[in-house]
Amino acid sequence: MKKAITKATTLLALLAMSFCLVAQNDMQMFKSAVDAANKGKQDLLEVLKSGRDINLGVSAEQLQGATAGEPIAYQMLDFNATLEMSRVKNLSSIVKTDEPAKMFVPYMNNGKVVTVIEVAQRGEGWIVSGLGGAIITKQVNEVMAASGSKKIMIYEVPNLRAMVYTTGSGNDEMYYTNYLGGSLRQAVGKETLFNQLQADAKKFQDEFGDMVKEQRLVR
């Protein structure tokens, strides 16, 4: 499990680095996630046209002609629920309800995602919270190609640092993750995934549960 956690932690660290260019809009609020993302797109275009030596995996030309696709919700799971995954019907049923809403809005050009803009809900509005996620962009393209769907959700399993992409809903959820060392280009079976998450969650709880209670770990 430690190898899996290390690999996933590294991935999320790289993801955080991909969003280092957060828009400085004085936290400008927008009515919708897409409205906020469109402002983020303009901010990113300015960066790309500035001539700064930054590789975000997208060119100004690609982004200029791109349009917003279906927003991708990014949700945190309830860790306590992952200890009993055998009782869980689908991931959407164990989302933490006290986490602020966050989405990645994909920008499409010629049928492919060229970049994503991260937006977050604040009260009744939305703000830009990140620009140019090369890792998420690559992974979303892989999941879209594998599933044939442009409606995707992303779930993070706290403590395990696992990221799971899903398509469909309810009993029709399909799961894509590289947490198990597999490929995002092929769906993983529900039983296989849930059993692994439960086993690793219990191992984490056994090893670090006391530290979590003492708040020496984040979750």
Helix axis angle, 2-18 to 190-213, nearest 10°:
90
110 φ, ψ (degrees, to nearest 5): 55, 40
The pLDDT, as a whole number, for residue 121 is 95
User: What's the pTM value of the predicted model, to 2 decimals?
Assistant: 0.84
What is the percent of the chain with per-residue pLDDT over 70, rounded to a whole number? 84
Contact 40, 107 (CB under 8 A): no
| Residue 15 is assigned to a structural domain of this protein | yes
Strands 125-131 and 152-157: what pairing? unpaired
Instruction: Report how far residue 175's alpha carbon sits from residue 146's, in angstroms, rounded to the nearest whole number.
Output: 11
Residue 77: give the domain boundaries. Answer: 2-213
| Residue 31 is assigned to a structural domain of this protein | yes
| Residue 153 is assigned to a structural domain of this protein | yes
Single-letter code of the amino acid located at 87 = R
Q: Which two tokens stand for residue 38?
A: 């469109």
| Residue 219 is assigned to a structural domain of this protein | no
Question: 122-159 pLDDT, tens per residue?
Answer: 998 999 999 988 999 999 999 999 999 999 999 999 99
| Residue 179 is assigned to a structural domain of this protein | yes
| Most confident by average pLDDT, 46-55, 101-110, 169-178 | 101-110
The count of structural domains within the chain is: 1
Contact 163, 155 (CB under 8 A): yes
Indicate if the pLDDT at residue 15 is higher than 50.
no
| Residue 140 is assigned to a structural domain of this protein | yes
The pLDDT, as a whole number, for residue 158 is 92
Q: Is 154 helix (H, G, I), strand (E, B) or coil?
A: strand
Mean pLDDT of the chain: 87
| Residue 218 is assigned to a structural domain of this protein | no
| Residue 16 is assigned to a structural domain of this protein | yes
Q: CA 154 from chain center: how many Å?
A: 5
